[in-house]
A = this chain, B = another copy of it.
Amino acid sequence: MGEKLCFASDYMEGAHPAIMQRLVATNLEQTAGYGQDAYSAAAREKIRAVCRAPEAEVFFLVGGTQTNATVIDALLRPWQGVVAAETGHISVHEAGAIEAGGHKVLALAQRDGKLSADAVQACSEGWRRDDNREHMVMPGMVYISQPTELGTLYSLRELEALSRVCRAAGMPLYMDGARLAYALACPENDVSLPDIARLCDAFYIGGTKCGALFGEAVVFPKPGTAPHFFTIVKQHGALLAKGRIAGLQFDTLFTDGLYDAIGRGAVEAANRVRAALDERGYDQPFRAPTNQVFVALDGERAAALSKDVELGFWENLPDGRVVMRIATSWATRPEAVDALIALL
């Protein structure tokens, strides 16, 4: 892809150099497989500490769709489905992986990519009060993403309300944190990892899009939440033989605040882009505070920009304009941001 600037997505490079360095340094060590190694154990311990969840069960999987399918399959019973926003990744972009596991995605209307506690409450109550409920899929858990697919954030208050509704209804609350570093690092964010561990029944801390070669860390704050999860992971083809490769990456990400630093850098870069767009009068249709910036462009402007910089296509607007996504990451260099701003 050579010389051209590229802001198309946040998974275009390899891993943060600190990770590569440790992979090389430990490469010839012999360790037990399947996550039974000391690096995975250390990573689990660090994640428990940073989440202030000393009893949490932690597992390292490979990718996001796989993680969602495995966790949801582990938490639902056959008569249940998973509630999600209609824009949720599991609703749209996972090739039917949840349904392939036998479960319906109960898609609810969203605002800014978010599910409201009221909507979840209404869904749960609607089922409970329906005389035909035993002929229908029972809402069995709730899926949210932080940040959402639109780059927006749940506030602590929103998350607390969701958690309250879920617990009252006996539905586990699961958070997809594919880009969690970029939420945690936002000045606007008021939801910490301990908050998530306190309010969710399961969540994953994303590695693939936040500095790792690959890998997602599933956390069940309360032990016993998902019995035989190891076997379910294996059955889903999600168990790494050389589990230490994932474990070591998370150990590195949670050493010396690297995960935070990765998030901060990307958000600062995105903020510089957002400010430049505002200054120049561009239209930002979703106001996302994280590492994704969305800008509406007319055809001419989009074509001109595309000569010098690769952006991500998001959607066509009814008025003929196109929404493009600018994604920053741990790997975004300041000079690339300068160059992008100069082009705008």
Contacts and interface: CB of A to CB of B under 8 A. Distances in A.
Interface in A23-41: 23-24, 26-33
B28 A231 contact: no
B69 A78 contact: no
Contacts of A227: 77
Contacts of A29: 1, 13-14
A247 interface: no
Contact of A63 (B30, B70, B73, B239): B239
A53 interface: no
Given A234-B135, A236-B237, A242 B228 contact: no
A97 B30 CA distance: 28
Given A11-B241, A79-B231, 7 more contacts: A12-B30, A65-B234, A79-B235, A81-B99, A95-B231, A100-B236, A214-B241
A181 to B, nearest CB: 15
A63 B14 contact: no
Interface in A204-262: 208-209, 213-214, 227-228, 230-232, 234-242, 245
17 contacts: A11-B33, A12-B33, A13-B28, A66-B237, A78-B232, A78-B235, A79-B96, A79-B232, A94-B135, A94-B235, A95-B137, A95-B231, A96-B235, A97-B236, A99-B103, A134-B228, A213-B245
Contacts of A202: none
A331 B15 CA distance: 24
Number of copies: 4
A54 interface: no
B96 A104 contact: yes
Interface of A: 1, 6, 9, 11-15, 17, 20, 23-24, 26-33, 62-67, 69-70, 73-74, 77-79, 81, 92-97, 99-105, 131-132, 134-138, 208-209, 213-214, 227-228, 230-232, 234-242, 245, 313, 331
A234 B33 contact: no
B20 A23 contact: yes
Contact of A95 (B66, B101, B135): B135
Contacts of A26: 14
B96 A31 contact: no
Contacts of A131: 313
A61 to B, nearest CB: 8
Contact of A242 (B23, B103, B214, B239): B214
Contacts of A99: 81, 99, 102-104, 137
Contacts of A69: 237
A240 B62 contact: yes
A9 to B, nearest CB: 7
Contact of A231 (B31, B101, B138, B235): B138
A63 B12 contact: no
